[in-house]
Amino acid sequence: MRALPADIETRALTGALADGWDFDVESVDYAAVGFGSYHWVVNDLKGTRAFVTVDDLDVKPWLGTTRESVFDGLRRAFDTAVALRDAGLGFVVAPIPTSRGETLRRLGQRHTIALFPFVIGQAGQFGHYDNDAPTAIVTMLTELHQATPAVSSVARRIDLDLPGRRQLEAGLQELNQPWSAGPFSEPARQILVRHASDLAELLGLADRLSVHVAKRKTNWVITHGEPHAGNVLRTGEGNVLVDWDTVALAPPERDLWMLMGDAAKEATVYTNATGHELDQATLNFFRLRWDLADIAAFTDVLRSPHRHNEDTAKAYDSLTSCVATRDRWAALPD
């Protein structure tokens, strides 16, 4: 999120921090990092530094279909993160509760605000790992998955349906007429026109794989959902995991598909620690679900009113990249 959100005023931000967390802001700086949430680094009058996250309730389809349901899903996710941290998982970077014990608050009608500890560390890059990093992350995820009993009563259960599918299918049904909501709308439509038949096949494949996953007799565990290198911070005391809005009960493969690579080393580490044999079709499902969810999200952004900025340019480039990976998808079994 490179572009500063136009509809969030600094005064509203600092007021919410003072009211909810008794955090009297002395300085605030926008942090152009991540994707899907807005972030600021704040310092208070006592010299305490913290990290602020603002989420848009209109762009988190995996949590719900209305602002109220998304708010409830996000609250449960952050409550789960706090419960995991309180259960002794020191690598969980969980929200700082408000003075009333809340993990997040509304910021106007459309947004939420949460306060996190400021962590000094180095984030990785999505899709790229150094040396034994995947094995270290698998070890961390093993500890997370084994902590399921601590959060089974608060954590939400993942919906196997594709997040944003309704918006994606609406877009695919309107490919026969120009899109004019913003500068990238028509170029995005033209890309989707060229790949419409591929996407229809892949949606069907996702449905078949979803049936397979639902029928498997596997214990669901607490999963992070996006444990890629970009969400892992290397600190002086070890690795920590950030961005817990996706945490949910799910098959273990939801976390592990992006760490397997071509070698069996990571799978062996996980199986030896847990006794769970990873299922290839389930790994395929979550990999395909990720790609299709990205396409749905980028399509929704570019079909909606927007301006040309770093974020919308990134969304267009990412859409172009996602739909061009048909060769990888073609290797998935029916």
Are 186 and 299 members of one domain?
yes
Rounded to an integer, what distance in angstroms lies between the CA atom of residue 268 and that of residue 223? 19
Residues 326 and 190 in one domain: yes
* Type of residue at 110: R
- Identify the pLDDT of residue 98: 97
Across residues 306-333, what is the average pLDDT?
Answer: 81
Q: 164-217: per-residue pLDDT in tens?
A: 999 999 999 999 999 999 999 999 999 999 999 999 999 999 999 999 999 998
pLDDT band at 32 (very low <50, low <70, confident <90, very high): confident
Structure-model confidence comparison of residues 251 and 45, the more confident one: 251
Q: pLDDT-based confidence at 326, cuts 50/70/90?
A: low
**Does some domain include residue 231?**
no
Number of domains forming the structure of the chain: 2
pLDDT in the model for residue 127 = 63
User: Nearest CA to 223 among 245, 239, 198?
Assistant: 245
In a domain, 312, yes or no: yes
Which H helix or E strand runs over 319? helix 310-323
Residue 319 falls inside a structural domain: yes
Residues 206 and 289 sit within 8 Å (Cβ to Cβ)? yes
Question: Among the three residues 83, 118, 153, which one is the final residue of a domain in this structure?
Answer: 118
Residue-number span of the structural domain to which 50 is assigned: 1-118
Task: Examine residue 234 and state whether it is found in any structural domain, yes or no.
Answer: no
> Residue 328: its pLDDT value, please?
66
Tell me the whole-structure pTM to 2 decimals: 0.91
Q: What is the DSSP string of 182-225?
A: STTHHHHHHHHHHHHHHHHHHHHHHHHHHHHHHHS----EEE-S
pLDDT value of position 311: 85
pLDDT tier at 229 (50, 70, 90 boundaries)?
A: confident
Residues 102 and 181 in one domain: no
- In a domain, residue 58? The reply is yes
